[in-house]
A and B are shown apart, each in its own frame.
Chain A
Amino acid sequence: MNLALVDPFVLAQDCPEALTETLRNGHATCIRFNHNGDLLASGRLSGTIVIFDIETNGVACKLRGHTKQVQSLSWSSNDRFLLSASQDWKCILWDLQDGTKVRTIRFEAPVFMAELHPKNHLRFVAALFEDQPMIVSLEGGAPVKVSLSSMPKRSQAMKDNLTEKQAAQDAKNTATVALFTPDGSHVISGTNKGWLNIIDPETYQTLYSNRVTQAVIILVRLTASGRDMVVNSSDRIIRTFQLPDLGSPSLDWDSLHLEVEHKFQDLVNRLSWNHVTFSSTGEYVTASTWMNHDIYVWERSLGSLVKILEGPKEELTVVEWHPYRPFVAAVGLDSGSVYLWSILAPQRWSALAPDFVEVEENVDYVEKEDEFDIQPIEEIHKRRLDGEDEDVDVLTVEDAGTRFTGHVARIALVSGEEEFKMPVFLDVDNADSEDEIVAIGTGQFRKKSPGTGKEWMNESETRAGSTGVASGDERAVNGNGRTDRKRSRKG
């Protein structure tokens, strides 16, 4: 609704320009924007998940359940459910309506990443440490885990010619990355040998394999349309691909060949890349880099480096792009702060004075014919009221919201799932912030007693998993009112 009034030059910008904000609540290790673009989930080193409201830059919600570093986060398409994967061998599906756990899923290994099915929040794919990718279905009572193959698919002819060594190599493939395509029709998984497999999640068959690199695939990201893919691998090269429509029935998997569109690399310093992501439209590719404080932004049409985002004095790990705004968030490696880059909107002084306009050059003022005529006041009033004959419609709501999000953001919202509005919890506590000192009164402080804010750890696993009444209660327990004072002073 504000778009009509905002400076079009500001709106036309599609790449962030400056560091505008730093969010901090514990040591974050991974972040993810929700589809609606108003919340940013961050997983902490401690295992707590903190959801930031990026409109207020405040903490919207805290979720406690993991005991080790959070590895990845994935939002359901209506933003109500959040799947977290952690090094503590667990994945937890959270319901943000009340902050409870829907399910806790244990694995036999630490979880690299877990991604929800875009249309069904009770189904996800997980990549486990030195193991095969797994599709997990939570529809029944107990989670059903189906292991997928990481073996590359080879044609019969190739299989015949396969040497023993190669066959052994194939068998050693383990998944490092696994994710659903945006329409949910396929799973894309990357392996530690550089293979990229496209797997049918219904039949669990590998439909297509391609070795895009000799090195480990670190990360695979897709745009919201599912037609663009970016692959980060440990050979210090970021590759982008254009995918065919994987959902189309006419696709011939045997003749499919993925062509590398761009290779982004630092030829001089041979930097390796920590994390990559697409911009909202897929127009830009953004990466954070090892031993470097900057974020690189490449533009995809020509493959050129267009911008380096600077600011923080530390190495950055996970970098994420807002679902529709020119807005980038990145996590600092050492401090665990979340840095936000966006566009600086210049103050429009002319808007403050209604009769003023900002002009580029001098404009000659032409006096109107009757401008300084003295009219009787009644006449003026009458004329004014007479002029008010327009038709006004104060009720009809124009659907302007889609203009902004366009094809990108809401594409995944499935019919049948109603839109979710995150409730506002007014009692989010800061009891487990990393500060060791808590205020207990005006000017009075004391050291935090050990174990404060970790009561949730005492609760038994089964209770958390089965009944799902976890952190909603804890929030009330921990909320003792003292720490709020401290926070407001800091802010």
Chain B
Amino acid sequence: MAPRTRRARGARQESPEEVASPEAPPTALETAELPDRTQDGIETVENEKDEGNQKEAGPESSESPTRSDNDQVAGQHRSPSPKPGHSPIYTTHPQSSSPPERSPLRSSPSPSQQLRAQSSSRTPRKSRSRSPVHLEPHAEPQFQSPERPKRLHYRHVADLPPSSHPFSTVKISPSGRLLAAGSSNGSIFIHNASTLALEHVLEGHLAGVSVIAWSSDGNILASGSDDKSIRLWNTVTGKPFRVPLVGHDNYVVSVAWTPKGNILVSGSFDEAVFLWDVRGRRIMKSLPAHSDPVYGVDVARDGTLICSCSSDGLIRIWDTATGQCLRTLVHEDNASVTSARFSPNGKFVLAWTLDSSIRLWDYGERRRCLKTYQGHKNEKFSLTGSFGVYGSRPPDAAKSPAEMNGYSDNEKGQKIDGEGVSRSRYIHPFAFIVSGSEDGSIFFWDVGSKEVLQCLDGHSGPVLGVDAHPTEPMVVSCGMDGRVKIWRDDGASESSNAGSGAENDVHMEDATDGVDQEIKLES
């Protein structure tokens, strides 16, 4: 067993004390921040001692000057094992406080160098774990009340039937019941998200489907295609609605619904953004958006804002009602923006750019890039990804008794309501960003710290679309290799066994029966 895992265990075992300590009221997150930080510090020091890795971490931990360095290094230190058949759980050393001898790595942030750094850090698991890193509870001003898990444990559980054509997009319906995958041969496949049974094949597009979008009630699926049309599909019957939305002069590569479902926003290679009156199938508004293909559009959760992005490097924010441009975001490097979406609360915009970066923008008064997520490779394709939540699960969902004890005090309270991403499942939800990469892997980043939480390998070509399930720890990915893969996170307790090749059958306790069946079929 890797030392890393042991350390994680150690942290869990200590958690009862942590919770029992009176300074951390479970509900008042902000107020709990300070005491918690110190608490973390103590705990970490203990962990370090366990490991025999006593470093200067304790004293350093609360000092802010080191923080940013750590962040940056955290983006580089991941060690996905390149060997297939090896453990699909690749974790990073989150927030490793970098020892001085590592400084060359730190100052190599350009994409190419970044990549080199990445490959150099692809060391075998054992030797990496020997490296002098530790969980550093530095002064991240984040709500740390329950400790943030340092990694995710998504594992490959199933495949949808492979296709000889690339799958360009995959989306899970808002209720989480269905998942749809759009293929470049023009078909869309709708599967049940839990049993993975094929429910409908939507055929009608004359060219490849580039993008699909579920309406908020999940009853209508909109698809944009290279045949320049947008089709609406009844997902209950699997039938298309009579007349497609025709109006774009070129490939339709992005569509998005407003929450009410009365307006559809589309972006196309003809450089326009159209707002469609869905009921009347007419173009309601045309936004003079960009001077290059519009690769991505999205609608904020209350429907009042639209964002669009283009390969001219601009991200624009529009007022839905008036069609006014309210903001334009542009990065100094002016890299092509190939996908953009609002955060679950609608306050930020996440944008994928062709310099192998994903940036989180504050489009409000500050109008600047808040976070840059790096590590994946994205220089050619329009990759899409998703926000998701993770965190410590409440006791009923948790599996190990240690976890149960650790968080029993926190189980009530903190039900934070939200849309888009359901978080009641977690005691205290943290957000992650998941995206594919052109090297065939899938990356998970923590939103706040920018650490890579996990890196999954599995696809043999660029991973074009990734979507996270709204309520369950499940992620779907699709790629150029014509495969759609289902990944699940069944909790940390399995992580130690995850290296074996036959893990699929072993770790399915948490999964639904349907998935189990599917896997048996597969194998």
Contacts and interface: CB of A to CB of B under 8 A. Distances in A.
Contacts of B324: 6, 345, 347-348, 351
Given A2-B305, A57-B284, A389-B68, A395 B344 contact: yes
Contact of B372 (A6, A384, A426): A384
B195 to A, nearest CB: 27
B280 A55 contact: no
Interface in B340-395: 343-348, 360, 362-365, 367, 369-372, 387, 389
B365 A4 contact: yes
Nearest to B367: A354
Given A351-B326, A354-B367, A378-B108, A394 B277 contact: no
Interface in A1-57: 1-6, 38, 53, 55-57
Contact of A488 (B106, B258, B282, B416): B282
A390 B360 CA distance: 11
Nearest to A353: B328
A389 B66 CA distance: 11
Contacts of B282: 58, 487-488, 491
B262 A381 contact: no
A385 B277 contact: no
Contacts of B277: 53, 56-58, 491
Interface stretch (A153-161, A219-227, A417-425): A417-425
A421 B281 CA distance: 21
Contact of A388 (B280, B316, B319, B371): B371
A392 B362 CA distance: 9
Contact of A424 (B260, B330, B431): B260
Interface stretch (B181-189, B418-426, B487-495): B418-426
B110 interface: yes
Contacts of B431: 394-395
B418 A395 contact: yes
Contacts of B160: none
B344 A394 contact: yes
Interface string B303-336: 0110000000010110111101111111000000
Contacts of B220: 424, 426
A392 B300 contact: no
Interface residues of A, number: 56
Nearest to A481: B242
B161 interface: no
A1 B302 contact: yes
Nearest to A376: B107
Contacts of A423: 217, 261
A354 B232 contact: no
Contacts of B69: 386
Contacts of B501: none
B215 interface: yes
Given A382-B72, A388-B372, A395-B431, A2 B418 contact: no
Interface string A46-90: 000000010111111000000000000000000000000000000
A387 interface: yes
A381 B76 CA distance: 14
B450 interface: yes
A60 B262 CA distance: 9
A140 to B, nearest CB: 33
B10 interface: no
Chain B binding surface, main DSSP class? loop
Interface string A336-354: 0000000001011001111
A390 B345 contact: no
B278 A426 contact: yes
Contacts of B348: 392, 394
A483 to B, nearest CB: 11
Nearest to B71: A389
B371 A392 contact: yes
A267 interface: no
Taking chain A's interface residues, is the majority helix, strand, or loop, or is none over half, making it mixed? Answer: loop
A353 B113 CA distance: 32
Contacts of B140: 391
Contact of A394 (B281, B283, B300, B345): B345
Given A348-B325, A388-B370, A424-B261, A1 B300 contact: yes
A484 interface: yes
Contacts of B346: 1, 397
B442 interface: no
B71 A385 contact: yes
A430 to B, nearest CB: 9
Given A389-B67, A397-B345, A424 B364 contact: no
A38 B260 CA distance: 10
Interface in A223-275: none
Contact of B345 (A60, A382, A393, A481): A393
A2 B319 contact: yes
A398 B345 contact: yes
A214 to B, nearest CB: 46
Contacts of A424: 215, 220, 260-262, 278-279
The residue in A2, A386, A422, A428 that gathers the most chain B C-beta atoms within 10 A of its C-beta is A2
Q: Which of A353, A377, A426, A487 has the most CB of B within 10 A?
A: A426
Contacts of A56: 262-263, 277-280, 284
B109 interface: yes
B110 A481 contact: no
A388 B109 CA distance: 14
A5 B260 CA distance: 22
A8 B167 CA distance: 45
A443 interface: no
B326 A2 contact: yes
A348 B325 CA distance: 7
A401 interface: yes
A390 B279 contact: no
B319 A6 contact: yes
Interface in B60-97: 67-69, 71-72, 75
A377 B305 CA distance: 35
A485 interface: yes
A415 interface: no
A63 to B, nearest CB: 15
A388 B450 contact: yes
Nearest to A5: B326
Nearest to B217: A423
B162 interface: no
28 contacts: A1-B301, A5-B317, A5-B327, A55-B320, A56-B279, A351-B327, A354-B328, A378-B107, A381-B109, A382-B106, A384-B372, A385-B75, A386-B69, A388-B372, A389-B67, A392-B448, A393-B345, A394-B343, A395-B423, A395-B431, A396-B418, A397-B345, A398-B345, A423-B261, A426-B241, A426-B278, A481-B242, A488-B282
5 closest A-B pairs by beta carbon, nearest first, are A394-B343, A56-B277, A381-B109, A2-B304, A386-B68
Given A352-B325, A488-B243, 9 more contacts: A4-B364, A59-B280, A351-B326, A384-B369, A393-B345, A394-B343, A395-B431, A427-B242, A488-B281
